[in-house]
Amino acid sequence: MKRIFIIWALLIGVCYAQSKAGFYVVGGKVITVQDTSSRNYLKAVENAGVVPSVLQNAASNFLVTSEKAIGSYSLITAQYPFIGGNAATHKFNLNNPVDTDLGFRLVFFNSPTHTSAGVLFNGTTQYANTFLNPSTALSTTSNHISYYTPTNSLTGIQLPMGAATDGAGISFLHLNYSSANFISGSEASLVAYTPVSTNGYTIGTKIANNNQSVFYKGVKLATSTVSSSTLPNLNIYIGARNRSVSPFIDLYSTHTAGYVSAGSGMTDAISLGQSRIVTFFNSMQNR
């Protein structure tokens, strides 16, 4: 009787663990139990020609359910988990996985390399257009952008994502080994910090009281208090900076994009929680 109870307890434990991951194994078959938002995203990936694996199902479900649990999902306007391994699947915004500009799906230029790790840009010509215009899609007093990369490179001036009109921007900037910054609004109101590496998750955020902060690998690196200011009236690019004056695209990046998001501002607690979630989501896929 005791043996039967132990076996029963183990089975219950396994089933619980599988349900948290987003799937059950019944009779040797995998049965997914997906959050609706995750299911819609993965269906778009499948319709684009790639059937997500069990691991990708579990990773996507973990990402969405965890974000909803801490309150970050509702703060995200667009997020790109880059599941599927090619341009047709990597383009989708998880929060609205439709193939339209209004859905903020990506359009890739000059054929960046697509792998299971995400999207690799060549640092000279390649980028992606999010069609997300900060001046209309984001708030001047509450916004964020974030970027996960497995690439550790501080060589030269590189900008993993951003947009800038004359005097206003929203971007990350990695400058050699000496300095880096996050800008949300006036280019004079940047948050500066000294980078030691780039691989991992970086989030720059501004919340309603105009506290502007940068988090990297789950640590708050720097903060500043800035007044509200105009956000750029240009679409955010990934892999380079979109700007209003010549050169109209610059600061190309060689960082592989494993995850990208943009949306409303996040508190310190939510930012740190989001850092853990995105980092684990990528580690589940060996990124």
User: Does residue 22 have a pLDDT over 70?
Assistant: no
pLDDT digits (tens, 9 = 90+) for 160-204: 999 998 878 989 877 655 678 898 987 777 898 888 899 999 999
Read off φ and ψ for residue 177, nearest 5 degrees: -105, 10
In degrees, rounded to 5, the angle at the alpha carbon of residue 136 between the alpha carbons of residues 66 and 210 is 65
CATH number assigned to the domain with residue range 77-284, chosen from the 4 options 3.20.20.80, 2.60.120.200, 3.40.50.720, 3.20.20.70: 2.60.120.200
Higher-confidence residue of 25 and 260: namely 260
pLDDT digits (tens, 9 = 90+) for 32-88: 558 999 999 999 999 999 999 999 999 999 999 999 999 999 999 999 999 999 999
Contacts of 55 (CB under 8 A, 6+ apart): 284, 285
- What pLDDT is stored for residue 27 in this prediction? 42
The ranges assigned to domains in the chain are 77-284
pLDDT digits (tens, 9 = 90+) for 219-259: 999 998 877 778 999 999 999 999 999 999 999 999 999 99
- What pLDDT is stored for residue 16 in this prediction? 43
- What pLDDT is stored for residue 179 in this prediction? 77
* Percent of residues, the chain, with pLDDT higher than 70: 87
pLDDT digits (tens, 9 = 90+) for 82-105: 999 999 999 999 999 999 999 999
- What pLDDT is stored for residue 175 in this prediction? 63
